[in-house]
């Protein structure tokens, strides 16, 4: 997801290094000023944050670009 955020939106960043290995959603500020979401496994949380998505792509971003994030439950089983 990529979007321009409406004014007055408040974000919560409840992630830290203790969440490494968990499934997470991270919203980050993109270079053009918009926001983008990454869903996947948190690989690292330090000066840079890395999240591996379901396709195996690792998204790396400076921790300062992370505006929101939280743990999320595992995906439902496939039928």
Q: Decide if 15 is inside a domain.
A: yes
pLDDT along the chain (79 residues), means of 10: 57 87 96 95 97 97 95 90
Q: Decide if 29 is inside a domain.
A: yes
Q: Decide if 76 is inside a domain.
A: no
Domains contained in the chain, number = 1
What is the structure's pLDDT at 11? 67
What DSSP assignment string belongs to 8-70? T----B---GGGTTSEEEEEEE-TTS-EEEEEEEEEEESSEEEEE-TTSPEEEEEGGGEEEEE
Q: Decide if 78 is inside a domain.
A: no
What is the structure's pLDDT at 4? 57
pTM of the complete model: 0.82
């Amino acid at each position: 997801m990529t979007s321009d955020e409406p004014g007055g939106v408040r974000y919560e960043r409840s992630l830290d290094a203790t969440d490494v290995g968990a499934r997470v959603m991270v919203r980050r500020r993109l270079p053009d000023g918009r926001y983008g979401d990454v869903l996947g496994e948190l690989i690292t949380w330090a000066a840079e944050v890395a999240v591996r998505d379901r396709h195996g792509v690792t998204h790396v971003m400076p921790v300062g670009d992370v505006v929101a994030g939280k743990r999320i439950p595992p995906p439902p089983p496939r039928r």
